[in-house]
Amino acid sequence: MVIFFIYASIVMICLMSCQVYYLLPNKSSFDKIVFRLLLVMLFHVSFAAIFIDIVKGYQYVDRGAPLGLLYGPILYFAFMAYEDKKPKVKTVFLHFTPFLIFLGIYFYFLTSEVFRVNFSKTYYFVLYSSFGLSWMIYPIFIMFKGRGLDIAMSNIKRIFYFSIILLLVLAAFILPLISAQFLTQIRNTSQLSTITIYMIMLFGAIIIYNYLLKELVDRKTVHSEFDFLNRPFPMVEAENPILELQMPNHKLTNYQDRVLNYLNQQPYLDPGFSLDTMVKDLKMSRSMISQFFKEYFKQNVLKTINSLRIEAVCKELEQPDFDMNIEELALRCGFSSRASFYRNFSLEKDCTPVEYREQIKSKLL
């Protein structure tokens, strides 16, 4: 009876979360990955309820399914979306390769009774060991990758911390279980194992719902505060600097004034500058700042900041007495990576910094 209550709770919370997701304005890449996670959880719990507790005699259909191998990669790609990085197809395929391999074995496991009779224990052992390793490796990797994150900073960071904790708890639960009991006492421990795993999944569903609900409230507030931006707004001409606040604009709200005046102080020239720096300095929510950049600059925060940095580089290159190493200039203007600097400069100006300097020198002659 307890397990049915847990199943029903997860399904209900996932469906409520999906409804909140559809109400979200300006869905980010991170939001879309969270939605895919909800769909996986919804399918996973429905699959388990049907084959473990509703249809008798088919428990192996659920227990042999490699769905647990999806959660680690989803967490990883959510982290990439948080960092505003788009994964390559090769990277996506690489991270989902274990799932695809076990999926092929799983189909054979379902269709071959001989395989189930002779190798089911070995298959379960290898599969659940893979679950445990995936649930341990991905959270630890993300903990080190994002060790500078501040838990109090944003809803997204909170969801990462809680997700990491839940996956590590699952790993801590499943690895000792399979090493000590799985091969010999699976029937005695299966009910306890099922309840424990799906209770953790229930906590995960609650965390996701809480995140989406907070984001909905924040974004609805932001949308109403920046509603006038939906009307035509005089944008900066391409040949002029991206920031131009020489004269005060009575149309700007306090939020816009704060962001634009802040950017005019050029904090982005610090290589350590990021969206999180803006959140902390301006004491505005991450979603509010992101919304402003999308509405005002028509691009995301990272692209705008890189454009501003390239603009600062060009101003230096245009000086008649310019005499500085290009890499040193890139660092002074906020680029900590040489490759990132050259890539962004080429995208913005369709030439290299040296070529740009030569063009300026020819005009000065």
Q: Give the pLDDT confidence of 285-327 residue by residue, as tens digits.
A: 777 788 788 878 888 888 888 889 999 888 888 888 877 888 8
Indicate if the pLDDT at residue 90 is higher than 80.
Answer: yes
* Rounded mean pLDDT, 265-284: 85
When the pLDDT of each residue in the chain is averaged and rounded to a whole number, the result is 80
Q: What is the DSSP letter of 88?
A: P
In a domain, 248, yes or no: yes
Lowest mean pLDDT among 13-27, 246-260, 346-360: 246-260
Same domain, 144 and 272: no
pLDDT on residue 245: 44
156 or 142, greater pLDDT = 142
Q: What is the DSSP letter of 334?
A: T
What string of DSSP letters covers 283-328? T--HHHHHHHHHHHTSS-HHHHHHHHHHHHHHHHHT-TT----HHH
pTM for the structure as a whole: 0.64
- For 135-155, write each residue's pLDDT tens digit: 999 998 888 876 544 444 456
Same domain, 220 and 239: no
| Six-digit token string for 169 | 């708890």
235 burial (CB, 10 Å; 0-12 / 13-18 / 19+) is exposed
In a domain, 86, yes or no: yes
Cβ atoms of 314 and 349 within 8 Å: the answer is yes
Same domain, 297 and 347: yes
307 or 184, greater pLDDT = 307
Q: How far is CA 284 from CA 15, 222, 246, in A?
A: 30, 11, 24
Same domain, 91 and 197: yes
Lowest mean pLDDT among 138-142, 158-162, 229-233: 229-233
pLDDT on residue 214: 84
CATH of the domain at 215: 1.20.1070
pLDDT on residue 14: 93
42 or 221, greater pLDDT = 42
pLDDT on residue 285: 74
Same domain, 72 and 167: yes
How many domains, the chain?
Answer: 2
CATH of the domain at 277: 1.10.10.60
In a domain, 81, yes or no: yes
Same domain, 211 and 284: no
pLDDT on residue 2: 81
3-state SS assignment for residue 266: coil
* Rounded mean pLDDT, 98-105: 95
Residue 239's pLDDT band, with cuts at 50, 70 and 90, is very low
Same domain, 154 and 283: no
Indicate if the pLDDT at residue 345 is higher than 50.
Answer: yes
Q: Which amino acid is at 34?
A: V
| Six-digit token string for 70 | 């999806």
287 or 278, greater pLDDT = 278
Same domain, 174 and 290: no
Indicate if the pLDDT at residue 12 is higher than 90.
Answer: yes
Number of Cβ within a 10 Å radius of residue 164: 20
Q: Which of 225, 243, 263 is at the close of a domain?
A: 225
Same domain, 199 and 250: no
Q: Which of 172, 203, 225 is at the close of a domain?
A: 225
Same domain, 172 and 243: no
232 or 255, greater pLDDT = 255
Indicate if the pLDDT at residue 104 is higher than 60.
Answer: yes
In a domain, 80, yes or no: yes
Q: Averaging pLDDT over each range in 100-114, 269-283, 344-358, which range is the top one?
A: 100-114
Domain encompassing residue 114: 2-225
In a domain, 285, yes or no: yes
Distance CA 211, CA 193 (A): 27
Indicate if the pLDDT at residue 363 is higher than 60.
Answer: yes
Same domain, 110 and 151: yes
pLDDT on residue 223: 52
Q: Which of 176, 202, 225 is at the close of a domain?
A: 225
pLDDT on residue 234: 43
Lowest mean pLDDT among 4-13, 21-30, 72-81, 243-252: 243-252
Same domain, 108 and 27: yes
Question: What share of the chain has pLDDT > 70, as a percent?
Answer: 81
* Rounded mean pLDDT, 79-99: 88
Helix axes of 183-225 and 155-177: crossing angle, nearest 10 degrees: 180
- For 43-62, write each residue's pLDDT tens digit: 999 998 898 888 888 888 98
Helical ranges in the chain per DSSP H:
2-23, 29-48, 59-63, 71-82, 89-111, 113-145, 155-177, 183-225, 254-264, 275-282, 286-296, 301-317, 326-332, 338-349, 353-364
